[in-house]
Amino acid sequence: MDATLTRATTLQGSLRLPADKAICHRAALLSAISDGTTRIIPWSTAEDCRRTVEVLRELGVPMVETREGLEVAGVGLHGLRAPTEPLDCGESGTTIRLSCGLLAGQPFTGRLTAAASLCQRPMRRVVEPLSQMGATIEGASRASSSEVYPPLTVQGRRPLHGISYAPPVASAQVKSAVLLAGLYADGPTTVSEPAPTRDHTERLLQALGVQLVREGSRLTVHPPRRALAAVPQLAVPGDPSSAAFFIVAAASLPGSRLVIRDVGLNPTRTAFVEVLRRMGAAIDVEAHDQAWEPRGTLTVESAQLHGTTVTAKEVPLLIDEVPILVVAACVAEGQTRFEGVGELRVKETDRLHSMVTGLKAMGAGLVASPDGSLVVQGGRPLHHATVESFGDHRTAMSLAVAGLLAEGQTRVRGVECVAKSLGNFFELLASVVGSSIVKVG
């Protein structure tokens, strides 16, 4: 399926985005091992989150999707059952890595399978700490590498050993997997982050009454001494990573004004807003609720953007938004430098390659270096082209936004992949730029 984008003159309107998928994954996993029923409202429509639901159902957790959200009948910390079938994680890296952490503490074996793209993603980063805790995890290997790839067979152990672990790469997925495993350990488990990452798992653990202590970059979870009492209702804000595509479009198109309501404002998810503000974007943030997950309204108006430097230290908190920030850099005046973005090479696809390939075809000036940096020379007019999504949802949506800023009609091929995170992306986009601008088919 392809999308055709015609240059837009402006962007106007108001949006409410689907539920934050990063939170939904974690809410489902932790509600599953609590005692009692939890209503997660709303529930994400993302394919990735559907994979997490199916994995938990195979582990014996009753779940019902309703018009309002997802109802989870928790089976308790020790109530999961051995799966009778492989656990299919599809293309969801969050599902497979967090499931590893959960399975590590079970008295049975589970096999986590994955789609072809996910089978290319490195798993040693999560296998290593869980193995130190006592789980036995086997995966696919390659003759030329010591890396581990899906499918993964996890033989759990109970209790696991509490460990102190310093991940070599900042990763919210690895941190979350270790913290989940730590619930089944014989003592405290500590993760020392090399850089801050999103903290949704920590917030949920604390909402469930788990003892969690943060000291600087050190985060320690203590295994619970009693059952986890379910939170009756978890209200999930809109996904800020999805909002980023619309924010960049509104900031870049002259005369635009966009209001995004009830969106997540967790400070570990809004670093991209600060980068865009640094580039000159006019973004107003109004917080409405500082409960377990902050939320509020973002109002964006168009402005002349200018180049900046995104440092390697900033990247862990905005890794998902780098592709769309690259589009912003293309239309900004001057040069923008992205440092330490080599992690983009091991996402659903090599996102550095897919973004550079697509945007160069549209006339942009970009150079990716072997050291994981990317330099964008902004201010060059973009023109129409036929570009590939490479099967990556963030590449597809980013290039679609670029198409709104380019002369002529741009065709993005293979856009069905947006269902992974935001299936109604093109409908939402058409609602604020006009149905004649966005065509899918």
Give me the active site residues, please: 320
Length of the chain: 441
Q: Is the peptide bond before 232 cis (omega within 30 degrees of 0)?
A: no
* 3-state DSSP assignment of residue 135: coil
The packing angle between helices 393-405 and 240-252, to 10°, is 20
Write b or e for each residue in 74-113: b if 16 or more Cβ atoms lie within 10 A of its Cβ, otherwise e.
bbebeebeebeeebbbbbbbbbbbbbbbbbbbbeeebbbb
The packing angle between helices 124-132 and 172-182, to 10°, is 20
Q: Is the peptide bond before 151 cis (omega within 30 degrees of 0)?
A: yes
Rounded to whole angstroms, the Cα distance separating 165 from 317 reads 20
Those residues with Cβ within 8 angstroms of residue 275's Cβ, 6 or more apart along the chain or in another chain: 308, 310, 314, 318, 325
Those residues with Cβ within 8 angstroms of residue 143's Cβ, 6 or more apart along the chain or in another chain: none
Return the HEC string of 83-103: CCCCEECCCCHHHHHHHHHHH
Write b or e for each residue in 198-220: b if 16 or more Cβ atoms lie within 10 A of its Cβ, otherwise e.
bbbbbbbbebbebebeeeeeebb
Instruction: Residue 205: name the closest of 364, 58, 31 by CA.
Output: 31
Please state the separation of Cα 434 from the chain's center in Å.
28
Rounded to whole angstroms, the Cα distance separating 354 from 340 reads 17
Question: E strand or H helix at 366, and its extent?
Answer: strand 365-368
> Dmax over Cα atoms in the chain, in whole Å?
63
* 3-state DSSP assignment of residue 114: coil
